[in-house]
Amino acid sequence: MKKLWNWWLAGGIKGKKRYVIFPLLEAEGVPFGIWLVSGREVSFLHFVTTPKMLLFVALCLTFAAPLLYFLDNVMGITRKMHE
């Protein structure tokens, strides 16, 4: 598990791929988790195409990567200040 976490923090195989992978995982995983826990009688596809979930997915795809990049920079600056 630690090896996977270090790989994730290193940005995947090459470069900063987590800025692409994280928003996709969030946009797909969070609605799936909500649908799974809520015990709804509708299909997942129907649940995801509701206006509320479409807005959530659009926001995840738009703002998750810049937010992650900002947090990485803040944590990098904080780490450098403590050294």
Q: What pLDDT is attached to residue 55?
A: 93
Its pTM stands at 0.62
Number of folded domains in the chain? 1
Q: Is the pLDDT of residue 11 over 70?
A: no
Domain around 14 = 2-82
| Whole-Å CA distances, 19 to 36, 39, 54, 83 | 26, 31, 20, 26
The tokens describing 38, both together, are 């809520």
Query: In the predicted model, what is the mean pLDDT of the chain?
Result: 77
With cut-offs at 50, 70 and 90, classify the pLDDT of residue 5: low
Closest CA to 18 of 75, 60, 68, 81: 68
**Do residues 16 and 49 make contact, with C-beta atoms less than 8 angstroms apart?**
no
Q: What pLDDT is attached to residue 13?
A: 47
